[in-house]
Copies of this chain bind each other. A is one copy, B any other.
Amino acid sequence: MQLLKDMISKKGKVFPGNILKVDSFLNHQIDTGFLNEVGKEYYERFKNDSVNKILTIEASGIGIACITAQHFNVPVVFAKKNKTKNIAADVYSANVVSYTHSREYTVIVSKEFLTPDDRVIILDDFLANGCAMMGLIDIVKASGATLVGVGAVIEKGFQRGGDMLRNAGIRVESLAVIDSMTDNDIAYRD
């Protein structure tokens, strides 16, 4: 998606440790006009797949999912980071390891909001090692819903997540795949 690459060039910042900061338009301050273009792009890619629900995870995925969902005219469900030690019986849960924050957490989705009738796409801001995405995929599987595909606005192609999912036969629609990045250059996969 050329507009995304232009936004990254203009407003993104690369930091040591393969960190790409896009918090001026994607995941702290949010440019909703830009997100609307993201939503249109996802709609173009998935419009023939009878998607009836968009799943994401708090917090950065929610804006992307909500604005994209308007184009599909479907509801969003966002997985919550569990705040208690107990997992209730009426939720699906999965463990996620966060490398960014060096910790493990559990994400939950109420059973009533994912059913075998659902055809789901999972959206998030970043796809890197794929741990959060794997957790959400496990939840979709547990619910009996159909996973249509997953989408990340930005995929770090030099980490294993995206290709691991593709190798598992999952449809991955990243709007930009970064193969390498340095202070002054970002190389995208074609």
A residues neighboring B (CB under 8 Å): 23-25, 28-33, 35-36, 58-59, 62-63, 65-67, 69-70, 73-78, 80, 83-84, 101, 109-110, 112-113
Indicate if the CB atoms of B113 and A32 lie closer than 8 Å.
Answer: no
Q: Name the one of B33, B35, B80 contacting A59, with C-beta atoms under 8 angstroms.
A: B80
Closest to A113 in B: B29
Please state the number of chain copies in the assembly.
2
The residue in A24, A66, A74, A101 that gathers the most chain B C-beta atoms within 10 A of its C-beta is A66
Q: A62-B66, A83-B101 are in contact. List 14 more A-B contacts (CB 8 A).
A: A23-B113, A24-B112, A28-B109, A29-B77, A30-B62, A30-B66, A30-B75, A30-B77, A32-B69, A32-B74, A32-B75, A35-B66, A58-B62, A63-B65
Q: List 11 A-B contacts (CB under 8 A).
A: A23-B113, A30-B78, A32-B75, A35-B66, A58-B58, A59-B59, A59-B80, A62-B62, A62-B63, A67-B67, A67-B70
A99 to chain B: closest CB distance in Å?
13
A31 to chain B: closest CB distance in Å?
6
By a CB distance below 8 angstroms, the chain B residues around A113 are 23-24, 28-29
A82 to chain B: closest CB distance in Å?
11
In the assembly, what is the distance between CA of A49 and CA of B4, in Å?
31
By a CB distance below 8 angstroms, the chain B residues around A23 are 110, 113
By a CB distance below 8 angstroms, the chain B residues around A84 are 101
A2 to chain B: closest CB distance in Å?
21
Closest to A55 in B: B29
In the assembly, what is the distance between CA of A69 and CA of B109, in Å?
27
